[in-house]
Structure 1
Amino acid sequence: MNKQLDEIFKRGSTTYYNSTLFFPPKIREDVTKLYAFVRVFDDLVDSVPQRREEFYALRKFYERERDGYNTGNAVLENFVELMRRKDFDEEWVEAFLNAMETDLHKRVYYTLGETLVYMYGSAEVIGLFMMKILDLPKEAEPYAKMLGRSMQYLNFIRDVKEDEYLGRQYLPVEDMERFGVEGLQCTDGFKEFMRFQVERYLDFEREAERGYRFIPNRYLIPIKTASEMYKWTGLTIRASPCIVLSRKVKPRKRKIVLSVMKNSVGVYLWRSLSSLVGLPTLR
């Protein structure tokens, strides 16, 4: 495992990083290569002030690495190797980079449609990358995209205050207007607005879960764990919407580990029961 890439991943996503500790080593190495690439671009557009010139320079370096030149950048080198080996569609990479570039100039999303367009590049293609890393069948594609979308949307809900500091609003303005919300203050309208957003996230999540049947047992445990931790975050916010105004809601590592243990037992029992009674099995 490249320590530089691992540290980038660890800094960027505590929940997902801890969940992926339970992938087989080779899979986790590939996931780390992916998330280090994603994180370095995301960090450039999320910094204050934004590091615009560095973003465009790094994108040029990626293009050179992709075209066969050795840039000496470990993150780019490892990602391009992964992209070639796992046959990533280059359009997916461009969609991701375009979404990151959008963060350099677009601040407010007025409709759900606008937000969904952004999430294709910022999140759904990440699900497609993961689908390739895990060698899932083509039939898993819509569910992989939906899982990426659901997690990203929950991030928008959880990070609404942080995004305000960055001058951004990803949750649709049309929804704020519907509930009479004019700012991030703990009003009844704000509570209803946030609960509405959580319900939308849960709809995305339920659709994504339909794709679990395509995921082998050895990969399903960490994915279910990450998904359940996001769901826990969403339900916590639904119960107390104004919590997002004062702190970032995140599960502790102990909770993540306990979820892994529960899912390990659950997947094992389902496999055993299925073999006994002839039910379809998770692979």
Structure 2
Amino acid sequence: MSPATLDRAYRDCRRIAAAHGRTYFLATRLLEPERRPAVHALYAFARLVDDLVDTAEDGAVAANSDGAHAGAAAAHLDRLEYELRGRLLRPAEIGGGADHTDPGTLEDRVLLAVSDTIRRYAIAPEHFWVFLDSMRMDIPGSPQYRDRYPTMTALREYMRGSAAAIGLQLLPVLGTVVPVAEAEPAAAALGEAFQLTNFLRDVAEDLDRGRVYLPADDLAAFGVDRDLLLECRRTGTTDPRVRRAVSHLIAVNRDIYRRAVPGIDLLLPRVRPAIRTAATLYGGILEEIERRDHEIFSARATVPTHRRLRVAAREFTTRTLHPAH
């Protein structure tokens, strides 16, 4: 493999991050240039897996049968894990000169970039296996599949792989001023906070795929169940009981942010503005939901572009004027 092949792989990852992770990609622009490719590679791998799972779910819903789609998706996920494990076991071989080899598919190139990132930053591979295990919980018909979560404890077990593991993957790339293990709880919590924000924003889309991520017992405390959510989705309106439940879960979400955000100060000073930007913008999604009076079925809550740019510009100015902070 030549440097040109690896460069192409990282460029593909950058394009994936720019196209699909607007908030995430904007935050990475505040990182030092040498750290950005690794962050893009981690995002692209997660996106690759997420798209695979979503496609399987969409196919299962369309066919009103999950067996064949689940089997194909589960097998594909197994192949991804097998290939990644194999790449990590093989020594990296990057030679000079022109690249005359076939760089393979986009999937191959994403795996190439993420395996290089794992080696380069000594990321614990276990964080990727935990992530993939949680993704199997999203494939209809698979043994691990769950379409709802009875308690926040059960949901957090899922988010341990789907979200906390992402924060732990990123931590060695970002760098810390303390031993990595000391910064891990806050990094995991921030990933969980981001994930719960996504769940609150995407209730309608998740219902379309047959999933309810919000904890059933928290919903039930406000008189909400899956049937009521489906009725809200059908009519495009949000029942007052759902509004109250969402308001409660926003408060729960903000408590996770409060525990996670102090951990940003454990990161290297130059990367803190990027992570603060991401935390501020994701928190802004909660504010947008509140601004709409918790109306989550008529439109998807997003932070306006002008605000995203303003937050990023503020953090960029802080980093430029006070590079040690």
TM score, norm. by length of structure 2? 0.78
* Residue 245 (1) aligns with residue 245 (2): no
Unpaired runs of 5+ residues, structure 1, are 273-280
* Residue 87 of structure 1: aligned partner: 122
Unpaired runs of 5+ residues, structure 2, are 1-6, 60-68, 93-102, 140-144, 233-237
* Residue 173 (1) aligns with residue 216 (2): yes
1:252 Cα offset (Å): 3.2
SS at match of 2:162: helix
1:3 Cα offset (Å): 2.7
1:37 Cα offset (Å): 1.0
* Residue 122 (1) aligns with residue 165 (2): no
Any conservation in 1 of the 2:186–2:261 contact (CA below 8 Å)?
A: yes
Deviation string 1:231-271 (CA, Å, 9 cap, x unpaired) is 111022134344320121112333222101222344566x4
Rg larger in structure: 2
Any conservation in 2 of the 1:176–1:193 contact (CA below 8 Å)?
A: yes
* Residue 192 (1) aligns with residue 214 (2): no
Instruction: Work out which of the residue numbers 158, 181, 195 in structure 1 matches 2:201.
Output: 158
Map 1:32-111; keep pairs closer than 5 Å.
32-47=40-55, 48-49=58-59, 52=73, 53-68=75-90, 72=104, 73-104=108-139, 105-111=145-151
Instruction: Work out which of the residue numbers 9, 18, 22 in structure 2 matches 1:10.
Output: 18
Deviation string 1:106-147 (CA, Å, 9 cap, x unpaired) is 111111111000101011111111111012132211111111
RMSD over aligned Cα, in angstroms? 2.1
* Residue 275 of structure 1: aligned partner: none
Distance in 2 of aligned mates of 1:65 and 1:220: 31
Distance in 2 of aligned mates of 1:15 and 1:215: 20
Q: How many residues are aligned here?
A: 273
1:176 Cα offset (Å): 1.3
Single out whichever of 65-74 and 176-185 deviates more from structure 2. Answer: 65-74
SS at match of 1:243: coil
Percent identity at matched positions? Answer: 28
SS at match of 1:42: helix
TM score, norm. by length of structure 1? 0.89
1:54 Cα offset (Å): 2.6
SS at match of 1:5: helix
Deviation string 1:168-219 (CA, Å, 9 cap, x unpaired) is 1111011111100132232221111000111111001111111122123321
